[in-house]
Chain A
Amino acid sequence: MTNLVEMRGIEKRFPGVHALKAVQFDLRPGEVHALMGENGAGKSTLMKIMSGIYPRDGGEMFVDGKPVRPDGPRAAQDLGIGIIHQELSLMNDLTAAQNVLIGREPRRSFGRLDEPALNQKTAEIFASLNLAMDPRTQVSTQTIARQQLIEIAKALSYNPRVLIMDEPTAALNDTEINELFKVIEKLKADGVGIVYISHRMDEIKRIADRVTILRDGAYIDTVEAADTPLAKIIQLMVGREVTQNAPIIPDTSQNPIALEVRNLSRGKEVRDVSFDIRKGEILGFAGLMGAGRTEVARIIFGADPRDSGEILVAGQPTNIRTPHNAVEAGIGYLSEDRKHFGLAVDMTVRANVAMANLTQFTNKAGVLDEVAMKDTAVKYIDQLGVRTPSDMQEVRLLSGGNQQKVVIAKWLLRDCDVLIFDEPTRGIDIGAKSEIYALLEDLAAQGRAIIVISSELPEVMRLSHRIAVMCEGRLTGILPGGADTTQEQIMELATQRESALVGAEELQ
């Protein structure tokens, strides 16, 4: 049987990252081929190459045995390749039908739209999906789940022979997932090849025929879904050597509690999360993308409102409503997106360090004291080992690791007792990573409470004194840190869906 799609030796580089290293993948007609791997393994990148969104830097791709090089989404569509993106990419201000048939609107003469035909065509597609929705419904009024279904309808409207689904069930409840699986079965019967990306182990067993595993941008293996145990697949996914040493865990059990969170909830993103952290402790947060870790941090920091729950700092109840409140209470949050939220990259190191504390550096007339700012900046440059020619260097010219140190300096200056690091080493090279790790350990040793959110399991295991694992907004367990905890144990908690609960909530 000829493969519908075959990819060999696919290479892709982004600035500073070798995203795909000689990756292979093939897809047969009428099969569901699951693509598995941890966050950042290269699944989405590979699929964006297949669907013409990214050009490939090397390798070959064949459709029906003929070499192809789709140079845009249109070209891929013409080859019969459709993709449902992980992030919703709908136009919220338009109706469902206008979204589904964007670019292919039925027209009358002079570019006039044939709106009844548009709605009719969309209604037919919805009917084939058993989707009860008025095509004239405005997208922004729909729930995320129903927007996802519109997205699926849009992909199907191209009558694709290859359909890529990137985490299609992330926002769906069980009933909706069952409907989706029915659609997938139907497409399979029609000979459509489906690439299925999901983090949910249970789904893989249910619908996948074969599974290809990627890890760190490299091809690992392709296995038959039916006769491969899940444990084997997980092991292939995380099988990276853990070269770093496990942390030496200090006894912090007698230290006072720095932060306590009770029954924190916000919509479906965060559900009834409770934990505490003592001074001097590093608490790691593990979980897959969308598990709700960043959301928890943002609520604690007052960046998002909470529906319910309490936040206690040093045993005292707080009323944190805004980031300003949180900082007053001694909580600092270092966002995963440094460039957007953490730094003014076009300004100097000196200006950035002083940014959150300008009142410390002003005289009564409000004039900035550059000398004091310089002294402080130089002090932190020394203390944190920021590699910069001077404190007047623009931050954008520093490497990722040194930028992160500038952010840390900024928060140290605010004298926060609780520091939340969201993906502290994202985009930072290996050498600088260990420096950041050492820095976090120092901060903990000084008696600060450190929360580290990371999608890289080795990083969580390398740093954490305790490991909190989240799945779908719930805290599914807290594991002890150290060498006794395995990646498999964490993965198990991270994929522990609570289907009944999901269904019940979404059906309201």
Chain B
Amino acid sequence: MGVLVNKNSKVIVQGFTGSEGTFHATQMIEYGTKVVGGVTPGKGGSMHLDRPVFNTVYEAVQNTGADVSIIFVPAPFAADAVMEAADAGIKVIVCITEGIPVQDMVVAKEFVKSRGGRLIGPNCPGVITAGEAKVGIMPGFVFKPGRIGIVSKSGTLTYEAADQLVKAGLGVSTAIGIGGDPVIGTSTKEAVELLMNDPDTDAIVMIGEIGGTYEADAARWIKANGNKKPVVGFIAGQTAPKGRTMGHAGAIVGGKDDTAQAKMEIMRQNGLYVVESPAEIGKTMASVLKGVNV
């Protein structure tokens, strides 16, 4: 079953008829995701990819019973799209859009919380429960079904990790791309917590980046919660200079506590299996599960 999304999830696409929305909706449908329709204001009443288009998320939910939304709306309008989804009662909102102003997200995150929804992202690859539902832009074929959960701030590095797991004879339950922005809906700790409580997940790969305290918070929570499942961790940006933004808006070293080295140290102290090299994620997980000392 995995977490957040599964084969029963009814998914709508916001920004359905745009080029990004069209391309990725097609890929999601091919993967087997139950895409029940989409929203493009002004195009309601038409059909797109053999599915109904609605003017508002509210209307889409009323007509399709959708409970998950994925957002491909351009950055200036994306925070509004997030709030519209939450207001319409969507439970899991996945926002792919990159480049949303931070102040917009500060407000949108609070709004989603007040409506009882869960936001994943923005600036993320989305969520995939392998073999069941892909609500994102990741290459589906890399994520072979299995029992390892992935939590990651990065897109391609998530694909890399999944590929290494599969080559090490393992597979993926659910991979959650939480996003690389300074304000994101679901923190590393919250995503890890979902997987810790998932009966279909035996172990977790946690991939972070420089900047912020999310990984350290997650590591402390994992220990406080009794290290119930093994967690293999990696932090990208050991070689990043201070004060420079490395691609992701949130990937910036501000002080001595948000460097890769500091985060890795905290992760080690809290019983995580930390890999120094991004090439060793899969191998390390396989060893950990076999009970080999790493």
Q: Answer yes or no: are A and B bound together in one complex.
A: no
